[in-house]
Amino acid sequence: MKIEIKRDNKTQLFDITTKVTTLLSALYYIKEHIDSSLTFGSGCRSGVCGACAVIVNGKEVLACSTPVNDKDKIEPLRYHKVQRDLLVDRCSNITKSLKQTNAHLQSYKPTPLDSKDEELNQIQSDCILCSSCYSACPVFAVNGDFAGPYALTRVYRYAIDKRESKKGTLISSVQQNGVWDCTLCGECTLVCPQGIDPKSDILQLRSLSIGEGYSDPTFVSMDFGGGFDSNWQ
């Protein structure tokens, strides 16, 4: 089996002559038997740490839970600084996005939660910050300051938490480079290994924003031309 790996903007072909199951095991095989300098992220090897996210044939996946196939093309995640080969700096982007959006509980209000509330809070808490959704999001190609799907999904998680007493602060932090900048393409939802649906969470955040008195800035600034016609009935 032959696989291609993008390294320093060049593509290198590797021949794997033993039986490997996952893409991560193929990368380890190359490192141990062909080229020890090959660099990639890895941690839990069981789909829970997010460290091994890469792009295979154009789609973001976790290398440890993805089967490897002949002629696969492997690349590092998009919109991240490449440290070496397939290893990217996810931490800088994560810190920037989560800080920018205040994606945490603002002010705790003691409130009993029932099992349905806990279930609801759990969905976005399952995010492993693998950055697959960030890499798949086309908005970053034109706006590097966009908050991005995992940050917005996390804001939504806290905005609907009954223990949050300052929901307005959270909502105000996603008005610029946030909910209204998303194109609702759904690419983030398609690649999430945790089954999280950032597109739908962003739509919900838009509704909450409208409830707080905000509106879509593109719509507000739209020029319909002609002004108001007083004769119009």
Interacting residue ranges for ligand FES, rule: CB under 6 A: 42-45, 47-52, 62, 64
**Smallest distance from the beta carbon of 123 to ligand FES, in angstroms?**
19
- Which residue matches tokens 């154009």? 58
- Tell whether residue 88 is a contact of ligand SF4 (CB under 6 A): no
**Comparing C-alpha atoms, which of 50, 22, 88, 43 is closest to residue 194?**
50
Residue 82 host element (H or E):
strand 82-84
Contacts of 34 (CB under 8 A, 6+ apart): 14, 15
In terms of CB distance, is 51 or 87 closer to ligand FES?
A: 51
Neighbours of 92 (CB within 10 A): 11
Given the rule CB under 6 A, which of 2-10, 133-141, 160-168, 171-179 is the region that contacts ligand SF4?
Answer: 133-141
Q: Are 124 and 196 in contact (CB under 8 A)?
A: yes
For helices 90-100 and 149-159, angle between their N-to-C axes, nearest 10 degrees: 40
Q: Are 31 and 84 in contact (CB under 8 A)?
A: no
Q: Are 61 and 132 in contact (CB under 8 A)?
A: yes
Binder of residue 47, out of ligand SF4, ligand FES, none (CB less than 5 to 8 A by kind): ligand FES
In terms of CB distance, is 93 or 132 closer to ligand FES?
A: 132
Q: Residues touching ligand SF4: how many (CB under 6 A)?
A: 30
Q: Interior CA angle at 199 toward 195 and 201, to 5°?
A: 85
- Tell whether residue 63 is a contact of ligand SF4 (CB under 6 A): no
- Tell whether residue 91 is a contact of ligand SF4 (CB under 6 A): no
Among 93, 153, 173, 209, binds ligand SF4 (CB under 6 A): 153
Among 129, 170, 205, 208, binds ligand SF4 (CB under 6 A): 129
Binding mask 197-226 for ligand SF4 (x = CB under 6 A): -xx--x------------------------
Residues in touch with ligand SF4 (CB under 6 A): 50, 127-133, 136-139, 149-150, 153, 182-188, 191-194, 196, 198-199, 202
